[in-house]
Structure 1
């Protein structure tokens, strides 16, 4: 299978095809454009990453273990400016931004640009944007170590490599189109060297490999049963996050969940449950939690729902990390104190789109398992007794709220990216 990602101005689209070029799955994540001044058009590269994660999450539902390659397409000309640590210095100036019209005209007056690039220097091209930044944002310009086009920032995220291909590079006003290489003279005319530019490849060439991501890996442990193993995603604050919020507002956790009623679509308020760092998939001891989207209408119940949803989305992140290893979940079993809340279990079922099974003695799941091991040891019984415990109820996904939870999870991932930059 093969994935194509198309980073457009209004959204990021993904497609999954097989060897016969048959479409197996499609996914879309919307993007917004910021226009803070007349003629300006900008986007945050962090939004591109969040959109790519959302699209990959959607495609992952179809299984990605057989994917052999990822291709990239996208909007041209945008100036994504990075420092020496590959940190984004400012919002990307997009292809349809016209602020650098005077700078474009000045470059176009230099006959070398048309002669080498074969094109007029338009305001939307990349080179005049760098001149504009030098004139109007000199402190940022001094820190620029790399200039990437939008889809090549996605490539950096995927591979860790600074790479561009010829068709996109031809829209920068820096490419010698005859030589299919960067023009040192044109780069110098805008105060750059080729060290600031990505390596060039042809569009059908391999540009890099997906970088290993051990920080997102799930746990692989020996099972308590002989000859068995299990995979596990771990979050560090689940019911503990609700207990923290209960102490904050001076209520019992059980009272907070009881006042919620039936499952609702997630609201604007989001909660990142990283009260003491996080394990799967972030492996980040420094990250900390946050409420975002707070407004006058945010009351105690909205805060409770945000906490439950934040933990739910952290569980979904674990599910996605498992999916990347080829593991699929068909159902969940809820145990522990959090299993007392039907609202929470319904949210988990809906966000992960799997039924959640509630054992008859859910609060004592660990103790029940330990008793089973004691039974095996005393009687010599084999693993055949390790079937599902007695199930009291099943909570099914609310398909009417699936889209709302998907959208909220995408916002959760975007907030996660933003909060990591502050940790």
Structure 2
């Protein structure tokens, strides 16, 4: 394997997010360039969430062009991929996209999840979590039921980052951490499950070859080079789903290391060296992107998304929402349920929706903002509770994602969860940085042990007992219990 030093090699990480494509370039230690290109969601019907794979590719090319203005792309040594998990990209035999991708926060396949669990009652133990409409397998069942003409033409199924991989290197490949989120992966064996595929209207030969995240799966093609400005022949590693690559950026590839992720969705992630399913609490037990590692994760569909939603309604920025929230009187704030697209962990409830309770004539914009920001913290309190004693063994939880830029939000999460939170410098680089580190590992510039090195914590947020917040969390949970049966 080619040996490289950090100073002589540059590694590119490409993260296909829900709201943007992010690209960073790093020598393995420092980020030398970064760029983002925005994306939009489409929701043609209630509960639907879709994006065009072509939009991901266009955004990737745009972000790479921005990187090229900062540094010559000829300096790039290798590329790693990361992306939003679960999205179903359906291709025909000619590798043409058959329909818009059905995303992780789409809830149309609820009845298919019920049917899948009835047909295969042990699926939670095989796949690491019970069926929910965000996962890929029930999406294929929905397509078979509602769009049989499209289903009949399927020849390949990919996930978002792997479609970008196809456009870059021309191969059909997927890493095991992203495959874990499809429900088709036998998590203990780290291989495709024929039983789950058969039960979910999926042919095994539609699924791509599996690789570990640091494994080279292809090289930049001449066609991709002409479109992106990248030199042809650059190696590309498989990378990982955004949760796993976020873990790599924080050294959470070794057991008993955890973090929270504050992007459009939210995650509470704890790495381990064995497979420990806990499907009853909708805690995901998935294969990691590195060999012989697994992780447990609570996945919240709404993460910091409610903040962006309210910002859009008020015509202000997400940062302004947080600033207004800090100014509110916490004793005169309504309760907000943040379930804009249902919820996964710990409720497994695709039907619940968001709403305010306790509005008064005196309720102002600041109070509305604080209710939403607090609700994000409360989702993490529920996530910590769903893990039981596992979290108490951790010294702290690191924080990453765009939401981690807010000290106010991180302090609220620490207070609500009773857990120490640590923020590293550049925490918002997250999955893109992890993808680049996997590329460095694939080229021999880092070892698998190196991936476990934890970055220095720049800011600590220690939990403070606040009776007002504790009472509001109690009411928040009671409100969900009172409303969950309403449809």
TM-score where L is the length of structure 2: 0.43
Which structure's relative contact order is higher, taking Cα pairs within 8 Å and 6+ residues apart? 2
Higher alpha-carbon Rg: 1
Which TM-score applies when normalising by structure 1? 0.50
